[in-house]
């Protein structure tokens, strides 16, 4: 449905040229929900705007449903209104002088192929019904809540039944509770109408919960692409591990490799050892970085009988978060975080033992932390 190849885009600034996108490649299949995820300034919105025809790329190709819509090398650039897309902006771009009906129907009224009043009415009601707003068709746009404005913007994007839906940070202007509600509604609606969707966000929870696949971007490049579970549980470098959720980073030295693929690693400060699955690429004596999520560290108030992958420490702080608590445990020079569900009777200052889930650890070569291969 969408193919992006070698996309580059540079902007001229007061400080000279700034390359926002540095050769991005990805494909989206029909009906797929694909997310560009990354911090501000990583190039994700510029990529989406190039796909929408709102920016002209410097190089590369963009194809929508096999049709070439942008190729600077051939001086090919199809304008936005001739691309089969719908788009929702971060600001929603709701016109205050128009009511809900006229906001949604506006794209049909300005198209080259004029439609009858009846056709427009039918299409507007159809689009509003998709987002649950048909009963508010004639409400003034100035009387809409944030969530209702978002629904209107979505209905307007869907009014001409596009093949590709582009969403640029559509939930970022909502408060936390409404954002959660609208995330669920948006996910349900996109799934129900089975429209191919490209979603741009900096919010990891949105990306992980909504996407079929995620492309994590940093400094104008896609640094990892995969399913939500793949990029979360198997990050391919320091940046992805740190950006997607919380992570503990533990520096260690490889003590030895066994014949069955188990590596023995000694932690800094002689605070303990870990036994992890380790491929042959890691050699004895090599310094590595172990990445483990807080939810993959178990807190034991009593010393376990099996001390494999167990580290002894002292609780420094416990943050109660409702249905769970986050523990900060000092192990030598390390401060490790663990998430514990339910009620806990542990207190700061108490001795504790942390069990590391060896099957949920990623290991990187220390010298390549920012762009390493994960195991």
pLDDT tens-place string over residues 211-258: 999 999 999 999 999 999 999 988 988 899 989 888 999 999 888 877
Q: Using alpha carbons only, what angle is made at residue 85 by residues 84 and 88, rounded to the nearest 5 degrees? A: 165
Indicate the range of 102-111, 174-183, 217-226, 254-263 predicted with least confidence.
Answer: 254-263
> How confident is residue 367, by pLDDT bands cut at 50, 70 and 90?
low
Measured CA to CA, the distance from residue 307 to residue 315 in angstroms comes to 19
CA dihedral (242, 244, 245, 248) positive or negative: negative
**Percent of the chain topping pLDDT 70:** 95
Indicate the range of 32-41, 180-189, 202-211 predicted with least confidence.
Answer: 180-189
Residue 172 pLDDT > 60: yes
Indicate the range of 54-58, 108-112, 167-171, 350-354 predicted with least confidence.
Answer: 108-112
Higher pLDDT, 259 or 331: 331
Measured CA to CA, the distance from residue 17 to residue 214 in angstroms comes to 29
Measured CA to CA, the distance from residue 312 to residue 297 in angstroms comes to 12
pLDDT at 260: 66
- Mention the CATH class of domain 2-242: alpha beta
Measured CA to CA, the distance from residue 244 to residue 324 in angstroms comes to 19
pLDDT at 248: 93
Half-sphere exposure of 5 (CA within 13 A, CB side): 12
Go through the chain and tell me how many residues it has. Answer: 375
Is residue 223 within 8 Å of 25, Cβ to Cβ? no
Contacts of 45 (CB under 8 A, 6+ apart): 168, 169, 200
Measured CA to CA, the distance from residue 74 to residue 361 in angstroms comes to 47
Is residue 223 within 8 Å of 371, Cβ to Cβ? yes
Give the mean model confidence (pLDDT) for residues 51-72.
Answer: 96
pLDDT at 373: 42
> How confident is residue 368, by pLDDT bands cut at 50, 70 and 90?
very low
Within the chain, where are the H helices?
A: 44-52, 100-109, 117-130, 146-158, 176-193, 204-210, 228-233, 238-243
Is residue 350 within 8 Å of 305, Cβ to Cβ? no
Is residue 11 within 8 Å of 58, Cβ to Cβ? no
Measured in degrees and rounded to the nearest 5, phi and psi for residue 369 equal -60, -35
pLDDT at 209: 92
Give the mean model confidence (pLDDT) for residues 59-88.
Answer: 94
Measured CA to CA, the distance from residue 316 to residue 131 in angstroms comes to 48
Measured CA to CA, the distance from residue 181 to residue 79 in angstroms comes to 34
Give the mean model confidence (pLDDT) for residues 166-193.
Answer: 84
Domain ranges within the chain, ordered by starting residue: 2-242, 243-371
Helix-strand-coil percent breakdown of the chain, rounded to 5? 30, 40, 35
Higher pLDDT, 259 or 1: 1
- 10 Å CB burial of residue 299 (0-12, 13-18, 19+) is buried
Residue 375 pLDDT > 70: no
pLDDT at 346: 86
Instruction: Indicate the average pLDDT of the chain.
Output: 88
Give the mean model confidence (pLDDT) for residues 325-350.
Answer: 90
CATH topology match: 2-242 vs 243-371: no
pLDDT at 131: 85
Contacts of 219 (CB under 8 A, 6+ apart): 22, 42, 43
Residue 289 pLDDT > 80: yes
> How confident is residue 259, by pLDDT bands cut at 50, 70 and 90?
low
Is residue 162 within 8 Å of 189, Cβ to Cβ? no
pLDDT at 374: 41
pLDDT tens-place string over residues 116-128: 788 888 889 988 8
CATH number attached to the domain at 243-371: 2.40.50.140
Contacts of 4 (CB under 8 A, 6+ apart): 24, 25, 26, 27, 47, 51, 60, 61, 62
> How confident is residue 371, by pLDDT bands cut at 50, 70 and 90?
very low
> How confident is residue 90, by pLDDT bands cut at 50, 70 and 90?
confident
Is residue 336 within 8 Å of 297, Cβ to Cβ? yes
Higher pLDDT, 236 or 261: 236
């Amino acid at each position: 449905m969408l193919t992006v190849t070698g996309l580059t885009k540079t902007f001229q600034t007061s400080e000279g040229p700034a390359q926002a996108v540095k050769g991005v490649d990805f494909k989206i299949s029909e009906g797929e929900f694909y997310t560009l995820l990354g911090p501000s300034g990583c190039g994700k919105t510029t990529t989406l705007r190039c796909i929408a025809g709102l920016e002209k790329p410097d190089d590369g190709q963009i194809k929508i449903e096999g049709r070439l819509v942008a190729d600077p090398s051939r001086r090919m650039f199809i304008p936005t209104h001739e691309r089969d897309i719908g788009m929702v902006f971060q600001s929603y771009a709701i016109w205050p002088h128009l009511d809900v009906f006229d906001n949604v129907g506006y794209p049909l009224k300005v198209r080259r192929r004029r439609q009858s009043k009846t056709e427009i009415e039918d299409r507007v009601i159809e689009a509003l019904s998709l987002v649950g707003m048909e009963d508010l068709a004639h409400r003034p746009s100035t009387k809409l809540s944030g969530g209702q404005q978002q629904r209107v913007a979505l209905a307007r994007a869907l009014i001409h039944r596009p093949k590709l839906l582009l969403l640029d940070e559509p939930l970022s202007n909502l408060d936390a509770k409404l954002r959660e509600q609208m995330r669920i509604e948006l996910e349900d609606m996109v799934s129900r109408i089975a429209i191919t969707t490209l979603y741009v966000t900096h919010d990891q929870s949105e990306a992980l919960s909504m996407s079929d696949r995620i492309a994590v971007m940093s400094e104008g490049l896609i640094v990892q692409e995969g399913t939500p579970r793949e990029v979360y549980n198997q990050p391919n470098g320091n940046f992805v591990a740190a950006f997607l959720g919380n992570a503990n980073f533990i520096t260690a030295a490889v003590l030895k490799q066994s014949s069955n693929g188990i590596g023995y690693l000694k932690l800094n400060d002689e605070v303990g050892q870990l036994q992890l699955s380790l491929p042959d690429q890691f050699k004895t004596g090599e310094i590595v970085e172990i990445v483990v999520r807080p939810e993959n560290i178990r807190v034991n108030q009593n010393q376990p009988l099996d001390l494999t992958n167990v580290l002894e420490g002292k609780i420094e702080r416990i943050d109660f978060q409702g249905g769970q608590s986050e523990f900060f445990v000092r192990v030598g020079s390390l401060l490790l975080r663990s998430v514990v569900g339910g009620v806990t009777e542990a207190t700061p200052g108490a001795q504790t033992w942390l069990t590391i889930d060896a099957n949920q650890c990623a290991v990187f070569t220390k010298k390549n932390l920012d762009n390493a291969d994960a195991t």
